[in-house]
Structure 1
Amino acid sequence: MRFTYAEAMTDPSYYLPLAQAAEAAGYASVNVADSLVYPRESDSRYPYTADGDREFLEDKEFIETFTLIAAMGAVTSKIRFTPFVLKLPVRPPVLVAKQASSIARLTGDRLALGVGLSPWREDFEVMGVPWERRGKRMDECIEVVRGLTAGGYFEYHGEFFDFPAVKMSPTPARPIPILVGGHSDRALRRAARLGDGWMHGGGDGEELDALLARLAALRAEEGTADRPFELHVISMDAYSPDGVKRLEDKGVTDVIVGFRVPYIKGPDTEPLAKKVEKLERFAETVIAKVNG
């Protein structure tokens, strides 16, 4: 089992020392949150809070995702970085491919690209991208990023993107895993058809079991069941060795753990030293016992 450390919406000066501490403690990866803008008015609902409230996001500092990964990559040597998740269809996929390839080259292929749809219509509006047919645009974005980061000439002719044979340099020594986030049936099918893995957004155990079962069925339908596939999961089971074993038995490859509730309004007041203490304690009581 691999363990991913998740921390977001905190003091930006904490991220580099936290990445170093997580690497030293034995975590396999660090999740990196993605956010572009905060609209003053919005009818959108946040999908992962019980009441859809989004106000906890106001005035939270989000360093641009690839910039933060590059900075953390420069002060570490082994740990992997995973956007959780990059709002892909609001971005130009050719630029994303260039950014991802550059990060992979600079960090020694320590990038797994978590991607998803933004729940905010406003993200599409401010980026000049239509909200309509965003799922199809997402599919094409994944195909473009995968094609351009594979090396060699690549051309694409789709509904939204159309370009002749081009190539980028550098490209990664190994393919960048593309991990698709989302709980909707369309998101699960997208992960099964186009992804190298799936990223879970949280929820209770019964919901997780249902999502894993549906994903397995969709992979069988899509003919991808035999392809290597990462399952990144948030679960209370991840906080004990016995629980981790239960997740392993379900096919989970990566568990995402954090040590504070992120959906709190106002600034994060927890000191850096306390965060490091918590991640190290978990490493001693769970990671060492599971992987020791």
Structure 2
Amino acid sequence: MEFWLGAAFVDTPEYVGLAQAADRLGYDALAISDHIFYTDFDARYPYTDTGAPPYRPDTHWPDVWVTIAAMAAVTERVRFATNVYVAPARDLFTVAKAVSTAAVLSGDRAILGVGVGWCKDEFLQTGQDFHTRGKRLDEMLPALRTLWKGGLVEHHGAFYDFGPLSIAPVPAEPVPVYIGGDSDAALRRTARVGDGWIGNRIYSEEQLGALLDRLSGFLAEEGRTLDDVKVIAPIGALPSADLYRKWADRGVAGTMAAPWWLATPEEKAAHGDGLALKIATMERFAAEVIAKM
């Protein structure tokens, strides 16, 4: 079982310290979330009853690839993922260059967690078509993999048409692509082209079981099984080694946690509510859970 640190809603100066702690404590990856801006959104957020997103105008959303490069510079082992990067809100070459550069600077420790996005407002401001975002992502992913091979390459499709051309630098190893989202379309995309699936919200055990059944069905249609993809699932239950062993047996390759969400009153009193508290709770989680796995 892999243990990923879910580092959304974190103030930007804390990321480097979190990455160093994750590297030291045995976490496998640190995942950072993506948004471009905040506004009075016309789009409805899909994961709350009210349709309002669970963040404020002053919530930090640093550029994910710049942040990954900064964290990679002060670590040696831990990997870095996006959960998730809204790739179709950008043009193909912006995505290709940013991901490729971060992968090279991190020593091939970057993971592209990618989704279609929900926020139409962001697409309007970046000049990308919101309504074709799924189809464009389906074409974008093989085009990205072609570009990351290096050398003169070309692609001719419905939305992207280029080449022969090359970009540099390119990673020494293929960038793993994890698909985010739990719609049928997202799970089918995982089954077709994903190296993994990454959950971007917390799932109850009942919800997770149903999701794995759906994903298994779509994988079977593609001649694949859960053994062919890495499922990274945040689980809405009290952390324990027994909990994660159970879900590893069900085909879940890893989970995601933000231990400071479960900080005790004593930890809060001793460390406040900033980076020191986050690291203290990460240390406790590592001792009580990771070390026992």
Paired position in structure 1 for 2:72? 73
Paired position in structure 1 for 2:266? none
Q: Per-residue deviation at 1:213? A: 1.0
Q: Secondary structure at the match of 2:289?
A: helix
Question: What is the letter of the counterpart of residue 136 of structure 1?
Answer: K
Runs of at least 4 residues of structure 1 off by over 4 A? none
The C-alpha deviation readout for 1:87-107, integer Å capped at 9, x for no partner, is: 010111222112111111111
The C-alpha deviation readout for 1:120-155, integer Å capped at 9, x for no partner, is: 110110000111222101111112111111233321
Distance change in 2, residues 1:17/1:95 (3 Å): same
Q: Secondary structure at the match of 2:3?
A: strand
Larger relative contact order (Cα-Cα within 8 Å, sequence gap ≥ 6) = 1
Q: Secondary structure at the match of 1:112?
A: strand
Q: Could you tell me how far apart the structure 2 residues matched to 1:169 and 1:131 are?
A: 29
Q: Could you tell me how far apart the structure 2 residues matched to 1:282 and 1:260 are?
A: 9
Q: Could you tell me how far apart the structure 2 residues matched to 1:257 and 1:146 are?
A: 29
Distance change in 2, residues 1:226/1:210 (3 Å): closer
Distance change in 2, residues 1:224/1:94 (3 Å): farther
Q: Is the 8 A contact 2:260 2:278 kept in 1?
A: no
Q: Per-residue deviation at 1:156? A: 1.1
| Residue 276 of structure 2 is aligned to residue 273 of structure 1 | yes
Q: Could you tell me how far apart the structure 2 residues matched to 1:3 and 1:36 are?
A: 27
The C-alpha deviation readout for 1:200-227, integer Å capped at 9, x for no partner, is: 1322221211111111111110223387
Paired residues in the alignment total 283
Distance change in 2, residues 1:47/1:261 (3 Å): farther
Distance change in 2, residues 1:240/1:226 (3 Å): closer
Paired position in structure 1 for 2:37? 37
Using the aligned pairs only, state the percent identity: 39
Paired position in structure 1 for 2:144? 145
Q: Is the 8 A contact 1:19 1:30 kept in 2?
A: yes
The C-alpha deviation readout for 1:62-103, integer Å capped at 9, x for no partner, is: 111111001101111111000010001011122211211111
Q: Per-residue deviation at 1:194? A: 1.3
Q: Is the 8 A contact 2:36 2:122 kept in 1?
A: yes
Paired position in structure 2 for 1:239? 239
Q: Per-residue deviation at 1:256? A: 0.4
Question: What is the letter of the counterpart of residue 210 of structure 2?
Answer: A
Q: Which moved more, 1:181-190 or 1:163-172?
A: 163-172
Q: Could you tell me how far apart the structure 2 residues matched to 1:110 and 1:248 are?
A: 23
Q: Could you tell me how far apart the structure 1 residues matched to 2:142 and 2:70 are?
A: 27
Paired position in structure 1 for 2:12? 12
The C-alpha deviation readout for 1:184-204, integer Å capped at 9, x for no partner, is: 100100111011111113222
- Gap regions ≥5 residues in structure 2: 263-271
Paired position in structure 1 for 2:268? none
Question: What is the letter of the counterpart of residue 276 of structure 2?
Answer: A
Question: What is the letter of the counterpart of residue 223 of structure 2?
Answer: G
Q: Could you tell me how far apart the structure 2 residues matched to 1:178 and 1:154 are?
A: 20
Distance change in 2, residues 1:238/1:169 (3 Å): farther
Q: Secondary structure at the match of 1:165?
A: strand
Q: Which moved more, 1:59-68 or 1:197-206?
A: 197-206
The C-alpha deviation readout for 1:218-266, integer Å capped at 9, x for no partner, is: 111022338731111000357100000111011111110013459xxxx
Paired position in structure 1 for 2:265? none
The C-alpha deviation readout for 1:28-75, integer Å capped at 9, x for no partner, is: 1000111101122x3322222343321523221111111100110111
Q: Is the 8 A contact 2:152 2:163 kept in 1?
A: no
Distance change in 2, residues 1:229/1:126 (3 Å): same
| Residue 225 of structure 2 is aligned to residue 225 of structure 1 | yes
TM-score after normalising by structure 1: 0.92
Q: Per-residue deviation at 1:20? A: 0.2
**RMSD value, Cα:** 1.8
